Amino acid sequence: ALTSNAEQILFSPRVLALLICAAVVGTVRVYLRSADNGLSSDESNFLKPATWLAANSFLFFLASMEAVNAVKILGGTSQTGQVALSVTWLIYAIILVIYGILGKSILSRGSAVALFGLVIAKIVLIDTAELDNFARFITFISLGGVLMISGFLYNKFKTRIEG
Protein backbone atom coordinates (compact mmCIF):
# COMPACT_ATOMS: atom_id res chain seq x y z
CA ALA A 1 0.00 0.00 0.00
CA LEU A 2 2.95 2.34 0.61
CA THR A 3 3.97 2.11 -3.05
CA SER A 4 0.56 3.27 -4.23
CA ASN A 5 0.63 6.12 -1.68
CA ALA A 6 4.05 7.21 -2.93
CA GLU A 7 2.79 7.07 -6.51
CA GLN A 8 -0.24 9.19 -5.61
CA ILE A 9 2.01 11.73 -3.90
CA LEU A 10 4.71 12.03 -6.54
CA PHE A 11 2.99 11.20 -9.82
CA SER A 12 -0.32 12.99 -9.72
CA PRO A 13 -1.70 14.89 -12.74
CA ARG A 14 -1.40 18.12 -10.72
CA VAL A 15 2.34 17.58 -10.31
CA LEU A 16 2.78 16.91 -14.01
CA ALA A 17 0.79 20.00 -15.03
CA LEU A 18 2.64 22.32 -12.67
CA LEU A 19 6.04 20.91 -13.65
CA ILE A 20 5.22 21.47 -17.31
CA CYS A 21 4.20 25.07 -16.58
CA ALA A 22 7.37 25.67 -14.56
CA ALA A 23 9.48 24.09 -17.33
CA VAL A 24 7.90 26.33 -19.97
CA VAL A 25 8.47 29.45 -17.89
CA GLY A 26 12.01 28.28 -17.08
CA THR A 27 12.73 27.75 -20.77
CA VAL A 28 11.52 31.27 -21.51
CA ARG A 29 13.81 32.53 -18.74
CA VAL A 30 16.81 30.72 -20.24
CA TYR A 31 15.95 32.24 -23.62
CA LEU A 32 15.78 35.70 -22.05
CA ARG A 33 19.23 35.23 -20.53
CA SER A 34 20.79 34.53 -23.93
CA ALA A 35 22.51 37.50 -25.54
CA ASP A 36 20.90 37.15 -28.97
CA ASN A 37 17.23 37.20 -27.98
CA GLY A 38 16.50 40.47 -29.81
CA LEU A 39 14.84 42.25 -26.87
CA SER A 40 15.59 45.78 -25.76
CA SER A 41 17.20 46.18 -22.33
CA ASP A 42 13.93 47.61 -20.91
CA GLU A 43 11.98 44.59 -22.10
CA SER A 44 14.63 42.23 -20.83
CA ASN A 45 14.82 44.00 -17.44
CA PHE A 46 11.08 43.53 -17.03
CA LEU A 47 10.76 39.99 -18.37
CA LYS A 48 13.68 38.39 -16.51
CA PRO A 49 12.30 38.99 -13.00
CA ALA A 50 8.72 38.39 -14.18
CA THR A 51 9.57 34.94 -15.54
CA TRP A 52 11.64 34.15 -12.44
CA LEU A 53 8.68 35.04 -10.21
CA ALA A 54 6.27 33.04 -12.39
CA ALA A 55 8.44 29.91 -12.38
CA ASN A 56 8.99 30.14 -8.63
CA SER A 57 5.30 30.72 -8.01
CA PHE A 58 4.50 27.50 -9.87
CA LEU A 59 7.15 25.55 -7.98
CA PHE A 60 6.15 27.05 -4.62
CA PHE A 61 2.50 26.20 -5.24
CA LEU A 62 3.46 22.69 -6.34
CA ALA A 63 5.57 22.09 -3.24
CA SER A 64 2.82 23.44 -0.97
CA MET A 65 0.04 21.41 -2.54
CA GLU A 66 2.06 18.21 -2.56
CA ALA A 67 3.06 18.61 1.11
CA VAL A 68 -0.59 18.92 2.12
CA ASN A 69 -1.58 16.12 -0.28
CA ALA A 70 1.10 13.80 1.14
CA VAL A 71 -0.15 14.36 4.69
CA LYS A 72 -3.74 13.59 3.61
CA ILE A 73 -2.73 10.42 1.76
CA LEU A 74 -0.64 9.22 4.71
CA GLY A 75 -3.54 9.86 7.11
CA GLY A 76 -2.22 12.88 8.99
CA THR A 77 -4.30 15.45 10.84
CA SER A 78 -4.93 19.02 9.74
CA GLN A 79 -2.39 20.20 12.34
CA THR A 80 0.18 17.84 10.81
CA GLY A 81 -0.66 19.29 7.41
CA GLN A 82 -0.03 22.82 8.69
CA VAL A 83 3.33 21.80 10.13
CA ALA A 84 4.28 20.01 6.89
CA LEU A 85 3.37 23.15 4.98
CA SER A 86 5.57 25.30 7.24
CA VAL A 87 8.49 22.88 6.90
CA THR A 88 8.06 22.85 3.11
CA TRP A 89 8.08 26.64 3.02
CA LEU A 90 11.20 26.76 5.21
CA ILE A 91 13.00 24.33 2.93
CA TYR A 92 11.95 26.37 -0.10
CA ALA A 93 13.21 29.57 1.56
CA ILE A 94 16.55 27.93 2.34
CA ILE A 95 16.86 26.84 -1.28
CA LEU A 96 16.13 30.43 -2.35
CA VAL A 97 18.82 31.74 0.00
CA ILE A 98 21.38 29.29 -1.35
CA TYR A 99 20.44 30.10 -4.95
CA GLY A 100 20.54 33.82 -4.15
CA ILE A 101 24.03 33.54 -2.69
CA LEU A 102 25.49 31.28 -5.36
CA GLY A 103 23.75 33.00 -8.25
CA LYS A 104 24.10 36.52 -6.80
CA SER A 105 20.36 36.96 -7.23
CA ILE A 106 18.92 39.79 -5.16
CA LEU A 107 15.42 38.74 -6.24
CA SER A 108 15.97 35.24 -4.85
CA ARG A 109 17.39 36.51 -1.56
CA GLY A 110 14.58 39.06 -1.18
CA SER A 111 11.98 36.39 -1.88
CA ALA A 112 13.63 34.15 0.72
CA VAL A 113 13.47 36.89 3.35
CA ALA A 114 9.80 37.51 2.57
CA LEU A 115 9.08 33.79 2.75
CA PHE A 116 10.93 33.49 6.07
CA GLY A 117 8.71 36.30 7.39
CA LEU A 118 5.58 34.52 6.17
CA VAL A 119 6.70 31.25 7.77
CA ILE A 120 7.47 32.94 11.08
CA ALA A 121 4.03 34.59 11.12
CA LYS A 122 2.35 31.29 10.20
CA ILE A 123 4.20 29.34 12.86
CA VAL A 124 3.50 31.89 15.59
CA LEU A 125 -0.15 32.47 14.69
CA ILE A 126 -1.37 29.12 13.36
CA ASP A 127 0.97 26.18 13.93
CA THR A 128 1.64 26.64 17.63
CA ALA A 129 -1.96 27.41 18.59
CA GLU A 130 -2.82 23.81 19.50
CA LEU A 131 0.60 22.63 20.68
CA ASP A 132 1.51 21.90 24.28
CA ASN A 133 4.34 23.89 25.87
CA PHE A 134 7.11 21.37 25.15
CA ALA A 135 6.17 21.04 21.46
CA ARG A 136 5.92 24.83 21.19
CA PHE A 137 9.39 25.12 22.75
CA ILE A 138 10.85 22.63 20.26
CA THR A 139 9.15 24.44 17.38
CA PHE A 140 10.57 27.83 18.33
CA ILE A 141 14.05 26.42 18.97
CA SER A 142 14.00 24.72 15.54
CA LEU A 143 12.81 27.89 13.84
CA GLY A 144 15.51 29.88 15.60
CA GLY A 145 18.12 27.38 14.41
CA VAL A 146 17.01 27.68 10.81
CA LEU A 147 17.07 31.48 11.00
CA MET A 148 20.52 31.44 12.62
CA ILE A 149 21.86 29.20 9.84
CA SER A 150 20.42 31.57 7.22
CA GLY A 151 22.01 34.55 8.97
CA PHE A 152 25.31 32.68 9.14
CA LEU A 153 25.16 31.99 5.39
CA TYR A 154 24.52 35.66 4.66
CA ASN A 155 27.43 36.71 6.86
CA LYS A 156 29.83 34.04 5.57
CA PHE A 157 29.15 34.82 1.92
CA LYS A 158 28.74 38.61 2.29
CA THR A 159 31.68 39.33 -0.03
CA ARG A 160 30.32 36.98 -2.69
CA ILE A 161 26.87 38.61 -2.45
CA GLU A 162 28.20 42.16 -2.66
CA GLY A 163 30.91 41.45 -5.23
Q: Is the pLDDT of residue 139 over 60?
A: yes
CA-wise closest residue to 115 among 87, 138, 156, 141: 87
Half-sphere exposure of 123 (CA within 13 A, CB side): 23
pLDDT in tens, 103-125: 778 888 889 889 989 988 888 88
pLDDT in tens, 35-87: 666 777 787 778 778 888 888 888 898 889 888 888 888 888 887 888 889 88
Q: Is the pLDDT of residue 32 over 50?
A: yes
Sequence-ordered strand ranges (E) for 1-136: none
